[in-house]
């Protein structure tokens, strides 16, 4: 859907609600029409994007602004990685962390100002994060990409402590499916990168150490299957439904009880030239 001419009027569910979405878009320039369509249909206050695959000056800011999202924080590089935050709410205190000193644009953070307050807070700190996929072989000695992934997740504990004053959210493609029902077959994927014990144990250790809540699983019981990613290799991804939950929203204690709903917009996976990830939407109130 092409961007409509002229900025759209701000929309909110109420002055005491906040909607965040996260989406690995797998090239924001290639899929800008899908981004605009999603913003128009679901109207998040903030959308976190990963794998934008463009330099900051190439980010399609004009189309995003025309969709009613005036504020942007972008961390980009040519052809690879990339993370962004687009917002209809004012943002400031933009930060870009270079995890593992690799020069990869895998993180951007910003503080959004709410028109009202939630839990007595009128601002929220947001991190948009893209954890490395880790390659094919779960062996740090023979696969540098897997070693990079584990070092990256371990570094999250040091780098992503919740703001001492503000509620803090971590949203993004964290590239690990931690629980048995986060993958189509726990038994068959135990030796597959994204669901190996060394990854899932480190992942949960890091989240627990940071004190964040797994917001999706707060609303969707652990015994229910929950996916956000389906491989391009499947001829019919919906029929095979061999998915994994690689995208997450973590909430710090200040807002842990404030999330009111969670959804995965799986329809986007069927759009023409779709990303292999579906957007995750979380409401706070």
Q: Are 76 and 54 in contact (CB under 8 A)?
A: yes
* Whole-number percent of the chain with pLDDT over 70: 95
pLDDT over 80 (residue 14): no
Residue 11: how many CB atoms within 10 A of its CB? 11
Q: How confident is the model at residue 4 (pLDDT cuts 50, 70, 90)?
A: very low
Helices 197-210 and 144-159, axial angle in degrees (round to 10): 10
Span 124-137, average pLDDT? 98
- Please give the structure tokens belonging to residue 252: 């710090």
| pLDDT for position 12 | 43
- How far apart are alpha carbons 4 and 106 in whole angstroms? 30
| pLDDT for position 2 | 37
| pLDDT for position 11 | 40
pLDDT tens readout for residues 240-249: 999 999 999 9
Residue of 43, 16, 267 lying closest to 117 (CA atoms): 16
CATH architecture, range 18-284: 4-Layer Sandwich (3.60)
- Please give the structure tokens belonging to residue 163: 């703001």
| pLDDT for position 1 | 37
Q: Are 35 and 62 in contact (CB under 8 A)?
A: no
Entry pTM: 0.93
- How far apart are alpha carbons 89 and 115 in whole angstroms? 8
- DSSP three-state, residue 249: strand
Q: Are 18 and 88 in contact (CB under 8 A)?
A: no
pLDDT over 80 (residue 229): yes
DSSP string, 159-186: H-PPPSSS-EEEEEE-----SGGGBS-H
pLDDT tens readout for residues 200-217: 999 999 999 999 999 999
- H-helix or E-strand spanning residue 207: helix 197-210
Q: If you count them, how many residues does the chain have?
A: 285
- Please give the structure tokens belonging to residue 281: 């939407």
pLDDT over 70 (residue 36): yes
| pLDDT for position 9 | 41
Q: How confident is the model at residue 59 (pLDDT cuts 50, 70, 90)?
A: very high
């Amino acid at each position: 859907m092409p961007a409509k001419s002229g900025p759209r009027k701000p929309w909110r569910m109420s002055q005491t609600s906040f909607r965040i979405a996260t989406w690995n878009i797998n090239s924001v320039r290639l899929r800008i029409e899908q981004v605009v369509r999603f913003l128009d249909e679901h109207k998040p206050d903030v959308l976190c994007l990963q794998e934008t695959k463009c330099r900051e000056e190439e980010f399609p800011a004009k189309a995003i602004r025309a969709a009613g999202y005036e504020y942007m924080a972008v961390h980009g590089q040519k052809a690879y990685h990339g993370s962004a935050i687009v917002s209809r709410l004012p943002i400031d205190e933009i930060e870009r962390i270079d995890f593992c000193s690799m020069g990869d644009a895998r993180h951007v953070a910003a503080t959004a100002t709410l028109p009202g307050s939630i839990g007595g807070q009128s601002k929220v700190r947001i991190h948009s994060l893209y954890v490395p996929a880790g390659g094919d072989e779960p062996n740090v000695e023979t696969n540098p990409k897997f070693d990079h992934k584990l070092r990256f997740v371990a570094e999250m504990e040091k780098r992503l402590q919740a703001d001492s004053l503000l509620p803090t959210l971590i949203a993004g493609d964290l590239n690990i499916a931690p629980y048995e029902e986060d993958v189509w077959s726990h038994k068959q994927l135990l030796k597959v990168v994204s669901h190996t014990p060394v990854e899932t144990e480190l992942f949960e250790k890091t989240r627990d150490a940071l004190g964040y809540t797994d917001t999706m699983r707060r609303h969707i019981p652990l015994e229910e299957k929950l996916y956000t990613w389906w491989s391009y290799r499947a001829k019919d991804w919906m029929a095979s439904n061999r998915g994994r939950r690689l995208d997450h929203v973590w909430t710090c204690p200040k807002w842990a009880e404030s999330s009111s709903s969670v959804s995965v917009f799986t329809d986007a996976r069927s759009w023409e030239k779709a990303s292999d990830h579906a957007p995750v939407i979380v409401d706070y109130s």
